[in-house]
Amino acid sequence: MFPIRKIQEKVVFAAVSSASDAATAQEIVYGQEDRAKSEKDADWVKSTMHRLENRFDQDAAKRIRMNCQCGYGMDEKLTLLNELKAAATNMEEFGNTDRAKTAGMYCEDGILYLQFPFCPCPMLAEVDRLATYTWCQCTTGYSQVLFEQVFGCPVEVELLQSIKAGDDICLMSIIPCGQIWE
């Protein structure tokens, strides 16, 4: 079985440690006296985000979570995006092909959007609802890494909607900060 909880604990610990120190990371990931180790996954997600949000301001918590990408399926997504980029001459062509739409992308007014009609995070399978978007910021970090590799420039990624936070879809905007096509 895929050890998603262990992977998540490791990436959250590393991201928090990088932003502060190992003692803070230990307390956020495992709770006081390691009590969170025995929590079910859904409860652990909620309690970990509660501890993170109580320790850091909203912007810092977002940056920490953006650094928590696990890298699931990155190679196959890179292959698809590189093929779409090679076949396009601008963002509209890139985001509005049938293949792009099948992958959840579309371009509107020059902005690329990525949407999912379901929550793609396996850690949230048993979570009924999240109080904030904090947990979901890892997908913005994942998308930032992915699209920066494909576009060859920095990109700004913003989480606009999250199913687990009560929205109808998961939706992000992806805006390159440089020229992609000549």
How confident is the model over 131-140, as pLDDT tens digits? 999 999 999 9
Quote the domain boundaries for residue 40. Answer: 4-66
Whether residues 112 and 50 fall in one domain: no
Domain count for the chain: 2
With CA atoms as reference, report the closest residue to 156 among 171, 167, 144, 168. Answer: 144
Q: What are phi and psi for residue 166, nearest 5 degrees?
A: 105, 0
Check whether 165 has a pLDDT greater than 80: yes
Task: Give pLDDT tens digits for 77-91.
Answer: 999 999 999 999 999
Residue 40 and residue 62: Cα distance in Å, rounded?
A: 23
In a domain, 158, yes or no: yes
In a domain, 182, yes or no: no
In a domain, 181, yes or no: no
